[in-house]
Amino acid sequence: MKGWFPLLLTVALALALVFLTLPVIAIFVDSSPAELVESLGEPGALDALWLSLRVTAISLAVILLVGTPAAYLLATRAFRGKALVVTLVELPLVLPPAVAGIALLAAVGPSGILGGAIDATGIELALQTAGVVVALTFVASPFYIRQAMASFASVDRTLLDASRTLGASEARGFLRVMIPAALPGLAAGTALALGRALGEFGATLMFAGSFQGITQTVPLAIYDRFSTDFESALALSAVLVAVSAGILLSVKFVQGGEALGIAAR
């Protein structure tokens, strides 16, 4: 033994590893694969999975479409109050989900400050699938924007400058040079946002409610089954674990572990 410090480090890691993996492993210990598949055949569970897939895809599309140029601007321009803007954009990252739910109700709920204006357009959000998308986008987009900003900022600017010298417009440089160069980081940001959106619970329940096939995403379905059908709750949880692990692994695989290094930075 070389000393007490390396031992301390090892013990700390062992503790962290057991604490973090044991609950996840327990999900699979309690139920056999056959039982898992069987519980998933139930219509409510399938509805929840299908709904989660749809709303997560829509909200990710919105996040990528708006978040990518916004992050590019923040990464490449200096302006007064930029630090404040960045902080405001990142704020939902640390908001408790219940606060996000209350905040969404106060802002775009039926009696929220924009409620009347939204109502006038004929769009309904509260208790609707669209409301789930709003909740997911609100909580997940900072994960992407933050990561995208870091990736754009770390791209070698001479690449963009070279494309400009060769006569390309900034828009072209953005699409053809910056996005490809920042792609690993953008993919990692997408994965983080995807994971957060898929797991969203509190804001969805408070803002969009819980109704099979309309607003009951997988986490809400798990909660709903917790008291009546623990098996089925476990099965849905297992799916989320598998999907989340898949997201994490695919990012690691595609970028050789680099992108998640950026995520940690």
Partner 1 sequence: MRRALAVVLCALAGCGGGDDEEPRLVVSAGSSMSEALTECGRDFEGAAVRLSFGGSDELAAQIRQGVKPDVLASANTSIPEELHAEGLLSQPVEFATNKLVIAVPAGSDIRETADLRREGMTLVMGSESVPIGSYTREVLDRLPGGEGDVILGNVRSEEPDVKGIVGKLIQGAADAGFVYLTDVTAAGDALEAIPLPSVIQPDVTYAAGVVRSAKQPELAREFVAGLREGGCADALSEAGFGEAP
Query: 207, 101 in Cβ contact below 8 A?
Result: yes
Q: Which of 212, 231, 260, 262 binds partner 1 (CB under 8 A)?
A: 212
Residue 21 contacts partner 1 per CB under 8 A: no
Q: Which of 64, 73, 179, 214 binds partner 1 (CB under 8 A)?
A: 214
Spell out, one character per residue from 96 to 115, where the chain touches partner 1: x when CB under 8 A holds, - when not.
---------x---xxx---x
Rounded-to-integer distance, Cα 81 and Cα 92, Å: 19
Q: Which of 64, 93, 127, 248 binds partner 1 (CB under 8 A)?
A: 127
In terms of CB distance, is 108 or 182 closer to partner 1?
108
222: CB partners within 8 A, 6+ apart: 233, 236, 237, 240
In terms of CB distance, is 85 or 209 closer to partner 1?
209
Among 62-70, 173-181, 187-195, 206-214, which window interacts with partner 1 (CB under 8 A)?
Answer: 206-214
Q: At what angle do helices 43-76 and 230-255 cross, to 10 degrees?
A: 30
In terms of CB distance, is 31 or 255 closer to partner 1?
31
Residue 210 contacts partner 1 per CB under 8 A: yes
Q: Which residues bind partner 1 (CB under 8 A)?
A: 105, 109-111, 115, 126-128, 205-206, 208-212, 214-216, 223-224, 226-228, 230
